[in-house]
């Protein structure tokens, strides 16, 4: 039986992610929280969830020794980043006065600009971007299997990723501007939205991750 580690760095939406993964895994996988480097090194698949501020995230990862264990794990094991688990994979984020990330995807994380308006209605758009929005895959990928283009997923974020390599963009979303909401390369896949809160299509994406053999 394969093991799936959900990274526990002390501040996150861990339980909802753990429950969603356990639901779709059935008897085919053991899902567990990973709070130590040893927990990560012993897992077959890694899920990095997150919400809140990136400065706290990176500090807690370093304090628990999870930063280096994560970098080791992503070399060869299937890896899924969720929300802050996507943003932390880039080189740098503007949040918290400027925060270095893991540098696994070249690029930066920036805040939505002030004064954005809905192009259809002209109404002001609030930050954070919160609620359901359509996701448009830019290329085929096993994690999109069974998910229609334009399906709606649940978002909560004030910052978005700006990758340097467009070939690593796996999906886009529009909120005042078009932004990358999924990045993928080799055994890495990461999304800005919350699959664990996105009902049927979110559960399908998680199930696809458990079946993925990159």
Choose, from 83, 95, 157, 168, the residue flagged as catalytic: 83
The tokens for 16 are: 């909802």
Task: State the Cα–Cα distance between residues 178 and 189, nearest whole angstrom.
Answer: 19
> What is the number of other CB atoms lying within 10 angstroms of the CB of residue 52?
13
Q: Measured between alpha carbons, how far is 155 from 142 in angstroms, rounded to an integer?
A: 22
Beta-strand (E) ranges in the chain? 2-7, 29-34, 45-48, 79-82, 90-93, 99-100, 105-111, 129-137, 151-157, 159-163, 169-174, 178-185, 188-191
Catalytic (active site) residue 196: yes
18, 95, 168, 196: the catalytic one is 196
Q: Give the distance, in angstroms, between the CA of residue 130 and the centroid of all CA atoms in the same chain.
A: 15
Q: What residues are labeled active site?
A: 83, 194, 196
């Amino acid at each position: 039986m394969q093991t799936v580690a959900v990274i526990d760095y002390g501040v996150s939406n861990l339980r909802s992610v753990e429950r969603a993964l356990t639901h779709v895994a059935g008897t085919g996988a053991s899902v567990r929280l990973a709070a130590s480097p040893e927990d990560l090194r012993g897992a077959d698949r890694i899920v990095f969830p997150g919400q809140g501020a990136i400065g706290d995230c990176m500090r807690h990862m370093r304090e628990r020794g999870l930063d280096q264990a994560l970098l080791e794990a992503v070399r060869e094991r299937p890896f899924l980043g969720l929300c802050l688990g996507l943003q932390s994979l880039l080189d740098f984020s503007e949040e918290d006065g400027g925060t270095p990330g893991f540098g696994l995807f070249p690029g930066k994380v920036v805040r939505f600009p002030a004064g954005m308006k809905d192009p259809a209605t002209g109404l002001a758009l609030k930050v954070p971007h919160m609620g359901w929005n359509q996701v448009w895959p830019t290329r085929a990928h096993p994690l999109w299997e069974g998910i229609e283009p334009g399906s709606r997923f649940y978002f909560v974020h004030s910052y978005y990723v700006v990758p340097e390599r467009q070939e690593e963009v796996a999906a886009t979303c529009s909120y005042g501007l078009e932004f990358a909401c999924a990045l993928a390369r080799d055994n890495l896949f990461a999304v800005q939205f919350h699959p664990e809160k996105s009902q049927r299509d979110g559960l399908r994406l998680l199930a696809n991750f458990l079946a993925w053999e990159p």
